[in-house]
Each structure stands twice: as C-alpha cells, then as structure tokens.
Amino acid sequence: MNKEEKHEAPIQLGPLLSPSRVLIRKGKQTKKEVLTALAEAIAADEESVTQDELEWGIFHRESLMSTGIGNGIAIPHVLLPNMEQNCMALALCPDGIADYQSRDSIPVQLVFMLAAGKSQKVMHLKILAAIGALFYDGRLKAAFLAAGEPKACLQILARAEN
C-alpha cells in the first residue's frame, strides 16, 4: 500500500455548495425562517428529495437537540432514504439568529444544512467534522460574513481548502 492509499484526502466542502445554495439573509431572522429557506434551496437542486421531506427531517432533528455548535455556527443535518449523495446549503445571517438555542447562547450567523442518504453515514460525519474544523476558530466565518456575496464565499472557501 502506498502513502496515497493509507491517507485519505481531506474532505472538500466546496463541491457540496453552489451559488444558488449560499443564501445571504440580512436583518432579523428566526431559526424556522432560515431552516425553511435552506431546505427550499436544497430541494430546488436535488430531484431525489422534496422540501417537505427535508423540513420534516431537519425540524425533527432540531426537536431532539439544537444543532447550534457554538461560536455563531449551526449545522442542521439529516439522513434521508431517498438522497443519493451529500448535499449542503449555507445561510449567512450577519445580524444573527437569536432563537437558535446554541450551546453557548451566541446568536448563529452561519447555518450549514447538510442532507445525505442513509448509506452515507461515515461521509456525513466527516463533512460535519470538516465544517467544525474549518469554521470554528472564527477567521473563515468572519471572511464569509464580510464577503456578503455567494460567489465570493465560494472563492474564499476554495482558497481555505487548498
């Protein structure tokens, strides 16, 4: 076995996003409004899942425990039987979502919604970990919020992942 086979390449978040799935939500936002908009964005791009399926799964998951991980970041996620691949959408909420119920009570400004198929549990967990690792220290989050435009956010992410 050579080195490349022993070490997996790091998870790349960029290919999971597109400009149509990066939402800029200025002004006062509620958790429900943002999660609904993200579910709509994913469903618009993914034929294998409906907005209703996504919303049911995401809101059910949130009823068990908030996905606000702290430092103004939330990662709502769901595994659905009809999904064939991992798919993500991102909402930038510069004014914060006060009612997100994060562990540290800081208003959420970045919401990464991840949807995947039930057969993709391992990759799903790796993506969740990659989001936490890239964004938790705050520098990349600040760059995204300053960019204020979907394509600029994707360019910033591409530079951070290379």
Mean of pLDDT over the chain = 89
List strand residue ranges (DSSP E) for 21-102, in order: 22-24, 68-70, 73-74, 77-80, 87-97
Q: Which amino acid is at 57?
A: G
pTM over 0.85: yes
145 within 8 A of 24, measured Cβ to Cβ:
no
Measuring CA to CA, which residue among 107, 103, 87, 106 is closest to residue 31? 107
The answer, yes or no, to whether residue 141 has pLDDT greater than 50, is yes
Give me the domains of the chain, ranges plus CATH numbers.
15-161 (3.40.930.10)
Per-residue pLDDT of 15-62, as tens digits, reads: 999 999 999 999 999 999 999 999 999 999 888 889 999 999 999 999
- Higher per-residue pLDDT: 76 or 121: 76
What's the pLDDT score for residue 37?
97
What's the pLDDT score for residue 5?
45
What's the pLDDT score for residue 19?
94
The confidence band for 138, taking pLDDT boundaries of 50, 70 and 90, is: confident
What is the average pLDDT across 127-134?
A: 89
Distance CA 37, CA 152 (A): 20
Per-residue pLDDT of 69-119, as tens digits, reads: 989 999 999 999 888 888 999 999 999 999 999 989 899 999 999 998 888
Instruction: Give me the percent of the chain exceeding a pLDDT of 70.
Output: 94
